[in-house]
Structure 1
Amino acid sequence: MAGMSEIAYFKTETSDRLFADRLDTTSDERLALVLSKVAEHLHAIVRETRPSLNDWRAAIEFLTEVGHLCDDRRQEWVLVSDLLGMSTLVDALNSDRPGKATPNTMRGPFYRPDVPLMRHGANISLDGAGTPVDVTLHLKDLDDRPVAGAHVETWQANAQGYYENQQPDLQPEHNLRGHFVSDDHGRVSYRSIRPSGYEVPKDGPLGDLLAKLGAPLCRPAHVYFQVIADGFETLTTQIFDGEDPNLGKDPLFSVKPGLVGCFREARPGTDAALELEIDFHLNPARQELDA
């Protein structure tokens, strides 16, 4: 029985430490730290909530169902990350910017990198379905100087809440997508339509779970933008319709101060019904800040 006193026995109050102590931190210290923290919090949740064996089996079945919905066409784990607020949290921790800089958001699943360059004033609504909107962007640095030569990509849902690549047989190729370069005044202008909000997928295990708990699943109407300019951090963001009733309940937690836009009645001299004017303040690239 020699050495029995050296055995670290399993105890509910120290179960996470027992696991962590068995990890070899010399092979990958960062991975060992993260995994031990995951175990620490999971064990704490179990100790606090004291699930029954049936509860735990149900949790395992839920995770299994999520895995079954992951393939080349759908990634249910990404949806889990999004709807639990984790995707936005990770993005926020990795894109901390000064208060004046336009905040970043996640790019989402509907982005396409192959939209051709367009002239200023182009109409990105290729099927003309929806309320016409004249959109004007003003790209500036943190001192309000114009940023010329920036590549601006935009994409949005249609008036029924569907992106073009969700309906390849119903919408024209590249419908409601644009790619522009800002002029010498840091300006981009184009014609579009007022988008609609939409429900996130709710036909999977997470959607079913959140619906049972009354969690909101409708995204407020928004327009996506990605701005790439020399000397500045890439900005990926969204502008939300300030009149959307779901503005305060975005299931992806992307609505932030400075990202709420106003669709105003268009000024005389245009056949558009509405106009949307947006200022984007770009943050200098990190190497410039560190220099």
Structure 2
Amino acid sequence: MELFSEENSAQVVAASFINTRNVRLRSLLTGLTQHLHAFIKETQLTEQEWAAAIDFLTRTGQRCDSVRQEFVLLSDVLGLSMLVETINHRTQGDSTESTVLGPFHMVESPPKALGDNIALDGKGEPCLVTGQVTGPDGEPLAGARIDVWQANAEGFYDVQQPDLQPERNLRGLFTADECGRFWFCTIVPRHYPIPVDGPVGQLLAATGRHPNRPAHVHFIVTAVGYRPVTTHLFVEDSPYLDSDAVFGVKSSLVRQFPVVDDTDRAAEVGLDNPFRTVDFTISLLREVDPAPSGTECSS
């Protein structure tokens, strides 16, 4: 085995992985080593800069707990989360586009019945969300699971305000009906800043970037035999759509939330009148050929 030198540093370290049994792990470690060594050589990184980087990563890890994931936040603001999502969920226009999970999916969403209101504190502008889960050919996916969560009218998630918001506020796990349809009541979410009281916030400040995300509702949608999707539903008139701090906006996920002034409809769904509404069709890519369905459903 060659001795370590500046010229062959990456090759020497990569050779140390030769006994790694997992072929994919060996490939990843080798590629990571090559790129890191090339970066250090290209930038002529100083010892002080490397020490500062280690300190930054250490402090990032120290800010992670059961309700705060600073490393996810760091991945998000560097665009890495979106890149991994995009590479692993290429749709070719045949399904709903994915976007970042975000750092606040930290607790399980409570099971809810279709039509339930997930806004437990009653604060905010009422909104009815409707939609349908389908396969790539438009086939309805009965029993699909729709996990939703969002920030409140002030731009905070329940885990950020445990003493101010009810537990599991603005979270719900729904099961689509026999035609793949789902509907629930909530509020119109607000745009908000990601947490800036940690190392990631310091990074944004140092680079002159704002920390804001446009208003959105999170979705994770799953169905047997189909690829799950993690996505957002963005509010069309929200600020920061063109400068999302975590690069999560895709034009196909932006929707209007029009106002409905209909007393009878409001009473039917259990909302104050007037209210906002949005419809979101979510299409999943097929993993395996589905069994023929005997159910016919109109859109």
Class of the TM-score when normalised by the shorter of the 2 chains: 0.7 to 0.9
Aligned to 2:70: 76
The structure 1 residue matched to 2:125, chosen from 106, 131, 134, is 131
- Over 3 Å counting, the alpha-carbon distance change for 1:9 and 1:207 in structure 2 is same
Q: Shift of residue 157 of structure 1?
A: 0.7
List structure 1 runs of 4+ shifted beyond 4 angstroms: none
What is the identity, as a one-letter code, of the residue corresponding to 1:115?
P
Q: 1:265 to 1:71 in 2, by over 3 A?
A: closer
Cα distance in 1, alignment partners of residues 115 and 65 from structure 2: 39
Residue identity over aligned pairs, in percent, reads: 41
Provide closer, same or farther for how the CA distance between residues 30 and 170 of structure 1 changes in structure 2, counting only shifts above 3 A.
same
Q: Which residue in 2 is equivalent to 1:3?
A: none
Cross-structure match for 2:274:
272
Matches of 2:183 and 2:214 in 1, distance apart?
23
Whether the 8 Å contact between 2:128 and 2:277 is mirrored in structure 1 is yes
Structure 1, unmatched stretches of 5+, are: 1-6
Which position in structure 2 is the counterpart of 1:213?
Answer: 207
Secondary structure of the residue that 1:57 maps to in structure 2? helix
Q: What displacement does 1:136 show?
A: 1.2
Q: Take 2:289 and 2:166, find their aligned partners in 1: how far apart are those partners?
A: 42
| Aligned position for 2:79 | 85
| Native 8 Å contact 1:151 1:181 kept in 2 | yes
How far 1:44 sits from its partner (Å)?
Answer: 1.2
Deviations 1:191-241 (A, max 9, x none): 211101221122222320221111231111100122222332222211111
Q: What's the TM-score once normalised by structure 2's chain length?
A: 0.84
Q: Tell me how far apart the structure 1 counterparts of residues 258 and 89 of structure 2 sit (CA, whole Å).
A: 31
Instruction: For 2:140 and 2:22, locate their aligned partners in 1 and report how far apart those are by CA, in whole Å.
Output: 46
Q: 2:108 aligns with which of 97, 109, 113?
A: 113
Classify 1:104/1:116 alpha carbon distance in 2 versus 1 (closer, same or farther; 3 Å).
same
Q: CA RMSD in A?
A: 2.4
User: CA separation in 2, counterparts of 1:44 and 1:190?
Assistant: 51
Which of 221, 242, 252 aligns to 2:246? It is: 252
Counterpart of 2:235 in structure 1 is 241
Instruction: For 2:151 and 2:33, locate their aligned partners in 1 and report how far apart those are by CA, in whole Å.
Output: 40
Of 149, 153, 174, the residue aligned with 2:147 is 153
- Counterpart contact for 2:109–2:148, Cα < 8 Å: no
User: Is the contact made by 1:150 and 1:227 (CA closer than 8 Å) also made in structure 2?
Assistant: yes
Q: Note closer, same or farther for the CA distance 1:85–1:22 as it changes in structure 2 (3 Å cut).
A: same
C-alpha distance in 2, partners of 1:150/1:41? Answer: 41
* TM-fit CA distance, 1:26: 5.2
What does 1:279-290 correspond to in 2, within 5 Å? 279-284=281-286, 286-288=287-289
1:108 Cα shift? 2.9
Write the mapping of 1:164-203 to structure 2, written as runs, cut at 5 A.
164-203=158-197
Task: Report the Cα offset of residue 9 of structure 1.
Answer: 5.0
Per-residue CA distance 1:86-108 (angstroms, 9 max, x = gap): 22222332233341200223333
Radius of gyration: which is bigger? 1
Separation in 1, partners of 2:90, 2:185: 32
Contact 1:235 1:282 in 2 (8 A): yes
Alignment of 1:101 onto 2:101: no
Is the 1:133–1:272 contact (alpha carbons within 8 Å) kept by the matching residues of 2?
no
Letter in 2 for 1:230: V
Using the alignment, how far apart are the partners of 1:287 and 1:184 within structure 2? 20
Aligned CA distance change for structure 1 residues 68 and 18 (closer, same or farther; 3 Å) = same
**CA distance 1:170–1:61, change in 2 (3 Å):** closer
Structure 2 residue matching 1:81: 3-state secondary structure: helix
Contact 1:134 1:272 in 2 (8 A): no
Give the paired residue count: 281
* Distance in 2, Cα, partners of 1:221 & 1:267: 22
Q: Which whole-Å CA distance do the structure 2 matches of 1:48 and 1:77 have between them? A: 26
Q: Which residue of 2 aligns with 1:231?
A: 225
Between the aligned partners of 2:184 and 2:33, the Cα distance in structure 1 is 51
